[in-house]
Amino acid sequence: MAGVTTDKLPDPGMPEIAFAGRSNVGKSSLINALLQRKSLARTSSTPGKTQTMNFYTVNNEVCLVDLPGYGYAHVKTDFRRSWGPMIERYLRTSANLKAVFLLIDIRRIPNEDDSMMYEWVVNAGFTPIIIVTKSDKVKRSQIKKSVFDIKNALRVTADTEIFIFSAMDRSGREEILDKIEEIAGGKND
Ligand code: GTP
Ligand code: MG
């Protein structure tokens, strides 16, 4: 996926795919890994890095939308108040939005913020596609159990797709790219 442009709104009609999840879950890191760019989407060890929606147009084909994260007390202020309406409006009104990935850290049981986000995505008419992030942070033998616990906590439907990803070793990247291409219309590079 070369040909990344940014800092402009997507062309009308361009399919959009959004990435949602708690602050620090790894949304921007995932987008960078997908795009093979080190720091196109700005990442930070400090939660709350991404505070606006960022649109990354890829190959003039699909637009990846990096949503601001939720769940961190210290991003209270005005941003926290405007965050909900901004995200919800986007999810409900974007005519080009084709799918929403919901990212969950493999080490955390989803909390009420995650469940709220899950509900918003469902209410906007999508089945959230789950990406379990930072898989390098647990032992391989622990992955299945963690994924099971995450599915349970979110009470996902049986047809929910789940990807397991690490930005460190990039495992899961190809599968996620395939899914994005399928959603965006099945075009290949
Ligand atoms: P906000 O913009 O605050 O919503 O955060 P974000 O979800 O965009 O998270 P970001 O990509 O900035 O990553 C947060 C931190 O987690 C950074 O220090 C990343 O280096 C680290 N990180 C992200 N993905 C992984 C991963 O797969 N494995 C490990 N070990 N660390 C990761
Ligand atoms: Mg971010």
Q: What is the pLDDT of residue 42?
A: 60
User: Which tens digits make up the pLDDT trace of 103-149?
Assistant: 999 999 999 889 999 999 999 999 999 999 999 999 999 999 999 99
Q: Cβ(24) to ligand 1 under 6 A?
A: yes
CA–CA dist 54, 68 (Å, integer): 8
Start-to-end C-alpha separation, the chain: 7
Q: What is the pLDDT of residue 79?
A: 57
Burial of 41 (0-12, 13-18, 19+ CB in 10 A): buried
Give the three-class secondary structure for 149. helix
Q: What is the pLDDT of residue 187?
A: 46
Q: What is the pLDDT of residue 161?
A: 98
SS3 breakdown of the chain: % helix, strand, coil, rounded to 5? 40, 20, 40
**Distance (Å) from CA 135 to ligand 1 centroid:** 12
Q: Which residues of the chain have pLDDT under 70?
A: 1-12, 37-51, 72-81, 186-189
Burial of 134 (0-12, 13-18, 19+ CB in 10 A): buried
Residue nearest to atom 23 of ligand 1 (CA): 26
**For residue 108, what are its two tokens?**
């955390």
Q: Which residues surround ligand 2, an ion (CB under 5 A)?
A: 27-28, 49-50
